[in-house]
Amino acid sequence: MSRTATITRKTGETEIELTLTLGEGGGSTVSTGLGFLDHMLTALARHAGFGLRLTCRGDLHVDDHHTAEDCALALGQALDQCLGDRRGIARFGSAYAPLDESLARVVVDLSGRPHATVELAFVRERLGDVATENLTHFFVSLAMASRACIHADVLRGSNDHHKAEAAFKALALALRQAVAVRDPGGAVPSTKGVL
């Protein structure tokens, strides 16, 4: 199973170069043009134990939507490629992550069937240079492109920065569990025999 993928994505809205390595220990270099998104993706890579190299040049003169969405799509596509037929992986992961008063829960199933239920309970419209709705959309786009089922909830909190960071860290911890190789060369973790 290849645990590294490189994605080049060029559209009329963004140009992305991304390399993802699972289990590389969390080294990352992220430059999206959106400081808050860089912060979230760096935390995600660190706590998931992923190596992540990501550069994005997006149409930020329009807004942050295309950059946030396309980074999620590229990351999801890379994750899907890294997993191959998903043989031998744990498949499921779940985690809670606190950040001061905030507490987030994320549950992941690398099922091959994309679905996302995301309730991050933001109050503010923006965090830094990113619309909070685009952080929610990031989770959805990641689930679709990686062919994963992701349930993400912020259970409590009053600071939206803390809520977002707790959610990304919980996602990281859940993904770390789910992508772990439990049985190298073993069966696909499904009664169907395929994912």
Residues 13-27: tens digit of each pLDDT: 999 999 999 987 668
Task: Give the pLDDT confidence score for residue 190 in this predicted structure.
Answer: 75
Q: How many CA atoms lie less than 13 Å away from 44 in the CB half-sphere?
A: 29
- Sequence-separated (6 or more) residues with CB below 8 Å from residue 158: 101, 102
Question: Measured at the alpha carbon of residue 28, what is the angle toward residues 168 and 103, in degrees to the nearest 5?
Answer: 15
In a domain, 43, yes or no: yes
Note whether residue 125 is domain-resident: yes
194: in domain: no
| Average pLDDT of the segment spanning 67-89 | 96
Q: Is 193 within a domain?
A: no
d(CA 114, CA 124): 28
Is 186 inside a domain boundary? no
CA 98 to chain centre: 18
Is residue 93 domain-resident?
yes
Among the ranges given (4-8, 13-17, 120-124, 185-189), the one the predictor scored with the smallest mean pLDDT:
185-189
- How much is the pLDDT for 73? 98
Look at residue 1 and tell me whether its pLDDT is greater than 60: no
Q: What percent of the chain has pLDDT over 90?
A: 89
CATH number of the domain that 131 lies in?
Answer: 3.30.230.40
CA-based end-to-end distance of the chain: 14
Domain residues for 113?
4-179
- Residue 39 is assigned to a structural domain of this protein: yes
Residue 96 contacts residue 170 (beta carbons within 8 Å): yes
**pLDDT value at position 144?**
98
pTM of the model: 0.95
User: What number is the average pLDDT over the span 58-68?
Assistant: 98
Whole-number pLDDT of residue 134? 98
Residue 62 lies in a domain: yes
pLDDT at 191 over 90: no
Model pLDDT for residues 166-182, shown as the tens digit of each residue: 999 999 999 999 999 98
**Torsion angle (degrees, nearest 10) of CA 43, 33, 164, 101:** 80
Q: How many domains does the chain have?
A: 1
Q: What is the pLDDT of residue 26?
A: 60
Is residue 184's pLDDT more than 90? Answer: no
Q: What is the phi-psi region of residue 37: left when phi exceeds 0, alpha when psi lies from -120 to 50, beta otherwise?
A: alpha
In the structure, what pLDDT confidence band is assigned to residue 2 with cuts at 50, 70 and 90? low
